[in-house]
Structure 1
Amino acid sequence: MQDAQTGALVLLAEDEPEIADILEAYLGREGFRTVRASDGRRALESHLSLRPDLVLLDVQMPLLDGWRVLSCIRERGDTPVIMLTALDQDVDKLTGLRIGADDYVVKPFNPAEVVARVHAVLRRAGKASRKAGQILRSAPFEIDLENHVASVTIGDEPQTLNLTLTEFKLLSEMARFPKRAYSRAELLVSCLPEGDALERTVDSHVSKLRKKLEDLGIEGVPASVRGVGYRLRELE
């Protein structure tokens, strides 16, 4: 029986083609989907556009090294990251863990061990998200994901928001990382019904959500990000 994680998307950020080929083959045998990036900038672009379930991230990569890529990923959210490196030094391991790596594998490695660690990290991440992810709190919002109820606190009084399903999904998605800029394409894929295929449809739903919040005295939420899309709140 295959693990429930099969089908998860792994971003393989590795500039050595031979190593990437081997890892891709082993991950494929376990049912994982993979996408490759051969430099740090491409890794960040793929992370933003594809939203992988996990990143295997080499430290020594062109353009942007793994530490900088990991730091940017952590600013965006909590995607699980396993560092791959030839540097077998405690200071490097501590650096990775301090920045936010979930695990650390030193080259040369057994690819079967890497796949086992991918399974383990995804399992831990899944348990954490199920335990803590039922209630989202991003002041002044509180969002009950299980019961599809969103409320806003004005003064000391919580008020339930009367939202459509799409508006609820948009608010919930952006409340996970309120300072992150979400592209219209991302929001279209994650929040809108399959029949809605136009990015301008996102603008319409966001506009309606914003109007409902303005009626309660909450101005400029979600905030527009020129040339990109939206974020829940303006950067301070």
Structure 2
Amino acid sequence: MSQGAKILVVDDEHAILRLMHLALKGHGYQVLEAETGEQALIEASTKRPDLAVIDWGLPDLEGIDVLLRLREWSRIPVIMLTVRDAEQDKIAALDAGADDYVVKPFGMGELLARIRVALRHAAKGDLEPVIDAGGLTINLAERRVELYGTPVRLTPIEYDLLKVLAQHAGKVVTQRQLLRQVWRDIDPDNAAHYLRVYIGHLRKKIEDDATRPWRIITEPGVGYRLVTEAPQ
């Protein structure tokens, strides 16, 4: 997989982009480039690279925010580039889903070696960035939701709930999982009512009939399931 792999390089320093482009091309890789976080997300969702090298400091988004957005739908290896060498920054990057972390200035030999390692250990099978649930379209790459082609306006919590369910479409997601992933530091044992309230709000926006939901199914005492096919 290493030879000919498609590498997305995200950096707003032209000199770095030029250096990495030449080095990667010289080692047989295909190279995609982006100078902003939003451009990087578009390149990743449309051209599906095998690995991304993302600079922490971008003009529009922090590199770690690009990583978090990417991890909503993609498992491609990501190597973070940064001038920061603090332990907490490395932990933050790895916790956010980075596969490796290289501090500037770096040698191309070191970066190329880390790319080879990351590609060898690459997880198989990305999630699809666009999920269709019987007329409900969830674009994870662009954070856009449409119902029969009409945009659906969701609050951040409603979107996060739908995103987690979409990431596990067809499978039951437990209440504890949803609470921890959406509210993070909330006590899941005492917050089930939050979930019921927001699932109710979400159903009013994405179900054909909120009183008879079929897209978000309740699994009594367990959690919820996003169904992707309309009932016959």
Q: If the TM-score is normalised by the length of the shorter chain, which range does it land in?
A: 0.5 to 0.7
Give the equivalent residue in structure 2 for 1:98.
95
5 Å matches for 1:220-235?
A: 220-221=133-134, 223-225=136-138, 226=146
Q: Is the 8 A contact 1:10 1:55 kept in 2?
A: yes
Task: From 117, 120, 127, give the equivalent of 1:177.
Answer: 127
Give the equivalent residue in structure 2 for 1:22.
19
Matched AA of 1:38? E
Alignment coverage as a number of residue pairs: 147
Task: From 109, 112, 124, give the equivalent of 2:109.
Answer: 112
Matched AA of 1:181? V
Task: From 80, 85, 90, give the equivalent of 1:83.
Answer: 80
In structure 1, what is the Cα distance between the partners aligned to 2:32 and 2:74? 19
Q: What do residues 38-79 of structure 1 show as CA deviations (whole Å, max 9, x unaligned)?
A: 011111111111110000000000111101000001111211
- Structure 1's consecutive aligned runs of 4 or more residues displaced over 3 angstroms after TM superposition are 220-228, 231-236
Q: What do residues 95-122 of structure 1 show as CA deviations (whole Å, max 9, x unaligned)?
A: 0000000000000000121111101100
Matched AA of 2:130? A
Give, in angstroms, the shift of residue 223 of structure 1. 4.7
Matched AA of 1:177? L
TM-score by length of 1: 0.57
Residues 81 and 222 of structure 1: is their aligned pair in 2 closer, same or farther, counting only changes over 3 Å? farther
Q: Is the 8 A contact 1:26 1:112 kept in 2?
A: no
Gaps of 5+ in 2: 139-145, 151-165, 171-214, 217-225, 227-232
5 Å matches for 1:109-148?
A: 109-125=106-122, 128-129=123-124
In structure 2, what is the Cα distance between the partners aligned to 1:104 and 1:222? 40
Higher relative contact order (CA 8 A, sep 6+): 2
User: In the alignment, does 2:75 pair up with 1:67?
Assistant: no
SS of the residue corresponding to residue 32 of structure 2 reads strand
User: In the alignment, does 2:33 pair up with 1:36?
Assistant: yes
In structure 1, what is the Cα distance between the partners aligned to 2:37 and 2:127? 22
Give, in angstroms, the shift of residue 177 of structure 1. 2.8
TM-score by length of 2: 0.57
In structure 2, what is the Cα distance between the partners aligned to 1:73 and 1:5? 21
In structure 1, what is the Cα distance between the partners aligned to 2:137 and 2:108? 43
Give, in angstroms, the shift of residue 221 of structure 1. 5.0
RMSD over equivalenced CA pairs, Å: 2.5
Gaps of 5+ in 1: 134-175, 183-205, 207-219
Give, in angstroms, the shift of residue 25 of structure 1. 1.0
In structure 1, what is the Cα distance between the partners aligned to 2:9 and 2:127? 24
Matched AA of 1:88? D
Give the equivalent residue in structure 2 for 1:9.
6
Matched AA of 2:2? Q
In structure 1, what is the Cα distance between the partners aligned to 2:48 and 2:135? 21
